Copies of this chain bind each other. A is one copy, B any other.
Amino acid sequence: MSLTSHPDRLLPADPGTRAVARRLHHAVRDLPIISPHGHVDPRLLLDDAPFTDPVSLFVQPDHYVTRLLHAGGVPLNDLGIGAGPLPQAHARQVWRLLCGRWDLFRGTPVRYWLETALSDVFGISDRPGTGNADDLYDRIATRLAQDSHRPRAMLDRFGIEFLATTDDPADDLTAHAALAEAGLRARIVPTFRPDRYLETAAPGWADTVKRLGAVADTDIGQYHGFLAALENRRRHFIAHGAVSTDHSHADAAAEPLPLAEAARIYARALSGEVLKAEATAFRRHMILEMARMSCEDGLVMTLHPAIARNHHPPTFDRFGPDTGHDIPTQVEFTRALRPLLTRFGTHPGFHLVLFTTDPTVYSREIAPLASFYPSVYAGVPWWFLDNPSEIRAFQRSVTEIAGFSRLSGFIDDTRAFLSIPARHDMARRLDAGHLAELVVAHRLDEDEALDTLTSLVSAQPRKVFKL
């Protein structure tokens, strides 16, 4: 009935392969964590306030956890979604729900991350269940009250060296500025996420853009001013350490419009009359502009398109976005990105990292593109695909076409602060296992495997994200 945090976890079953994997993993286990894309709130680290309770730490911010409980029949309302800090009685109740449905997480990486955090951060060694829920709650709560378990202390203990957050272009980045002065060992930088400024048909778009213009101190009354405002904010982000932009739209298309047509649609959008087809054309045009700006200012561009956001409108209406029902759809990159790559695919220093929640494109499109274009990198499995079986499939299918040098390095992409070290360790174990298999199949010597693994953990993300 114990939590499983075995030293050999996730390593290959075959004893000979496992021995090689163990040596490889051991060599990188304690290397610093580089996290070039994620969703931790910078204010968490700026305030450095103690976490109030286990639920605000493990449940409320993590739609991986709440999604599976919801599927298991627990209403989101019972989990305190959207309720902010819970009164202790309610928090205990939610915690009991989590422990009581521990079986729902069997086989998932969520369980692995939760276990690792419980074990490594809180010293818990018994499996959560109805019987020990209150005891676990108390033990975690006690630790959370200690200075050793405040956010900055954990940041250090986790060995995080670089952490990118995800931010609105209109954000003034004062939190990041303050953090830069705070003497942390880790570098905390923003990421430029302009999605909503590019979707001109979205409700409230014109007001959003007006606020952007105000923040950028730029007249956005015409299209060229809109571009200038975006360029201005990118510079602001770069000045605060940003290394990348992040984009997620309904598809991956990048199609140029004539300048006059772009300006015309922009004007219509400002007046609130844009048609859906025009808005789509404008957004696809803007993706090209974003690539152009990246060529000019050096920000790495990451794409992860084709998610049907807020699939269940009643849940969205009641609980808002990011509540577990963004559902992937099929994606296409080869044709969609051709105009962009024709222009910028061999531009010196341009980096384009392709993420997907549709694994069919790994071997069909992403690996072939990344194996020709010096600018294109294959993003590691993302979101729904961040689990051992998909990661293993990705490793094999992408590296056998494009080699290891075209991978993005690991990305944790998480809102769950405590899952960061567990996620990176999972990646290191799976990479070690994959490389050990190549060694045992006599496809790679062990010194090469070790060099490759070290690179995946350190040099590769630094190179791809220009750290």
* Residue A388 at the chain B interface, CB threshold 8 Å: yes
Question: Are A334 and B329 CB-contacts (below 8 A) given A108-B399, A448-B103?
Answer: yes
Question: Does residue A12 face the partner (Cβ distance < 8 Å to B)?
Answer: yes
Nearest opposing residue in chain B for A110, CB measure: B403
Q: Quick check: A367 and B342 within 8 Å, CB to CB?
A: no
Shortest C-beta distance, A230 to chain B (Å), equals 27
> Is A441 on the interface with B (CB-CB < 8 A)?
yes
Residues on the B chain within 8 Å of A448, using CB: 103, 106
Question: Which of A13, A16, A107 has its CB near the most chain B CB atoms (within 10 A)?
Answer: A107
Distance of A403 Cα from B111 Cα, bound (Å): 10
List the B residue with the shortest CB-CB distance to A312.
B345
* B363 near A384: Cβ-Cβ < 8 Å: yes
- Tell yes or no: A405 within 8 A of B by CB: yes
Q: Could you say which of B313, B327, B390 contacts A365, with CB atoms under 8 Å apart? A: B327
Question: Would you list which residues of chain A between 255 and 272 have a CB under 8 Å from chain B?
Answer: none
* Docked complex Cα distance between A17 and B15 (Å): 11
**In the bound complex, how far is the Cα of B390 from the Cα of A150, in angstroms?**
46
| In the assembled complex, A374 has its CB within 8 A of some CB on chain B | yes
Closest 5 CB pairs of A and B: A389-B396, A387-B400, A6-B442, A9-B442, A107-B399
Task: Tell yes or no: A452 within 8 A of B by CB.
Answer: yes
A191 within 8 Å of B by Cβ?
A: no
Q: Mark A12-46, 1 if CB is under 8 A from B, else 0.
A: 11111100000000000000000000000000000
CA distance A71 to B372 in the complex (A): 5
On whether the beta carbons of B364 and A330 are closer than 8 Å, the reply is: yes
CB distance from A305 to the nearest CB of B (A): 13
14 residue pairs bridging A and B, Cβ less than 8 Å apart: A8-B442, A9-B442, A12-B13, A13-B16, A14-B14, A71-B406, A72-B374, A106-B403, A107-B438, A108-B403, A308-B338, A312-B373, A327-B372, A357-B364
- In this complex, the member of A70, A400, A445 whose beta carbon has the largest number of chain B beta carbons within 10 angstroms is A400
Checking B68, B388, B451 against A402 with a beta-carbon cut-off of 8 angstroms, the contacting residue is B68
- B10 in contact with A13 (CB, 8 Å): no
Q: Known contacts A71-B372, A312-B373, A374-B72; decide if A112 and B17 are in contact (CB<8 Å).
A: no
* Given A70-B372, A105-B403, A441 contacting B11 (CB threshold 8 A): yes
Q: Which residues of B contact A443 (CB under 8 A)?
A: 4, 9-10, 107, 111-112, 388
A369 within 8 Å of B by Cβ?
yes
